[in-house]
Structure 1
Amino acid sequence: MSIPRSRVASAAGAVGTAVLVLTGCGQAHVPDPASRAAAGGVTVTVELHRTSANEAELRATFRPDQPGFHVYSIDLPDEGVDGLGIPTRIGVRGAGTADGPPTADQPTRLIRPAGLPTEIPVYPDGAVTFRLPVHLNGSGPMDVVVSYGACSESRCLMPVTNKAIRLDLD
C-alpha cells in the first residue's frame, strides 16, 4: 500500500513545526531557551538548561569577535584595579533569580599594562563560558544582564554595561 505524497508532506510539515519534542520515554520536552547579542566586539550566547521544574543552569559564552582579544575576570573588583578594567558580570531578572555565583570554564591569568605596576586578571584570548545556577520563579521572560570589556595586548574596545539578553521561558 502506498501513501499519497501530499499526505506524507503534510505530516512532515506538522512534525517539523511542532513546539514540543517527544523523548524516547514518550514524555514531552520543551527545548531549552537560548539567545545571543553582540556589542563591544563580543558575541554573547546564553542558554538555559533546566535541571528540574524550578532549577536551571544558565550558560553564557562570551566570544570576542576578533582574534587576540580577551574579557576581564569576574573576580575583578567593580571599580577595576587602579581604575583599569571592567569586570565581567552576569545576572538574571524577571522569571529567574541567581542561586549562587557564576563560575568560568577558563582560568584567569594576570596581565600587566605596559609601563604600569598593576596586574589585572583576565581570561585567555578567545571564548569563555560562565555557568550560573538559577532558580526559576515562573513562566515568562527572563533577562540575562551582562557587563564586560574586551581587550587585546594593544587596545581595548568599548565596554558594555548592563546589556539585557531576553530568554523566553514559555
Structure 2
Amino acid sequence: MPASNVSSGRTAARLMAAAVLLLCATAPVTGCSRERSPSAGRAASDPATSDPATSDQATAGAAQNGVQVTVVVSADAVRATFRPERPGFHLYSIGLPVDGIDGVGVPTELAVKGGLRATAAPTSDQPVRQLNIPGVAGALPVYPDGPVTLTMPVARTGSPDAQVVVSYGACSTTTCLLPVSGLVIPVRLR
C-alpha cells in the first residue's frame, strides 16, 4: 500500500476513534452510552473540617459523573481517593498527557490552592496498565478497574481555607462517562 494511503488510513482511524468518544460523551450510540450517575453534579457543599478523633486531619468529598472523590488532608500530605460508583470502570493515569493520546483520554489530576502548597508531584497507589483502543496510535495508560488513591506532599501556607482540585475521566470497556475538569473540593484546616 502506498505511504499516502497508510497515512490517510491512520488519520481516518484516529478521527473515527475521536468521533466515537465524542459521541459517547454527548449522545447514546450503539456500543456506548452517555450515562450520568445519581450523584452527577453533586459536590461538596460545605468545607469539611478536621476530624475530632484526629485533629491534624481534615476530610472532604464530592461525587460527580460516576466517581466519588474522598480527600484526606494531613499535616504534610493530601490523599484523594477516586472511587468509580459502578464495577468495571477505570480511571486514566496521572501520566496520561494533558491532551490524551490522539485526543483520547483525560488524565487523573490532583492540585491544591489556598491554605495548601504542593511540595512534590502526586503518586498513585495502583499500577498502570496499557489499554489499546482500535484507531488510537498508542496505548492509553489507565489504572485497574476500581478505586485509585493519589497522594501529594503538601505544606500549609497559613490560611485555614484550602481547596483540593481534581480532574478525571471514568470509562468501562463500552462506556465513557462525561469527564470532570477542575472540580474544587473545599477543606477547612485547623
TM band (smaller chain)? 0.7 to 0.9
- What secondary structure sits across from 1:106 in the alignment? coil
- What secondary structure sits across from 1:90 in the alignment? strand
Give the drift of 1:31. Answer: 4.5
Task: Give 1:15-164 correspondences, 5 Å limit.
Answer: 30-50=55-75, 56-164=76-184
- What secondary structure sits across from 2:57 in the alignment? coil
Aligned AA (2:83): R
Question: Separation in 2 of the partners of 1:46 and 1:132?
Answer: 11
- What secondary structure sits across from 1:32 in the alignment? strand
CA contact (8 A) 2:92 2:143 kept: yes
Unaligned runs of 5+ in 1: 1-18, 22-28, 51-55
Cα deviation per residue 1:3-39 (whole Å; 9 max; x = unaligned)? xxxxxxxxxxxxxxxx866xxxxxxx62510001000
TM-score, length basis structure 2: 0.70
Runs (4+) of structure 1 exceeding 3 A deviation are 114-117
- What secondary structure sits across from 2:182 in the alignment? strand
Q: Which has the higher helix share?
A: 2
Give the drift of 1:150. Answer: 0.2
Question: Separation in 2 of the partners of 1:132 and 1:42?
Answer: 20
Moved more, 72-81 or 106-115: 106-115
| Number of equivalences | 140
Give the drift of 1:113. Answer: 1.5
Work out which structure has the larger RCO, using CA pairs closer than 8 Å and 6 or more positions apart in sequence.
2
Cα deviation per residue 1:21-69 (whole Å; 9 max; x = unaligned)? 6xxxxxxx6251000100011000000122xxxxx11100000001000
- What secondary structure sits across from 1:68 in the alignment? coil
Q: Percent identity among equivalent residues?
A: 46
Partner residue in 1 for 2:43 = none
Aligned AA (1:36): G
Aligned AA (2:143): Y
Unaligned runs of 5+ in 2: 1-50
Question: Separation in 1 of the partners of 2:82 and 2:105?
Answer: 16
- What secondary structure sits across from 1:30 in the alignment? strand
Question: Separation in 1 of the partners of 2:52 and 2:140?
Answer: 46
Partner residue in 1 for 2:13 = none
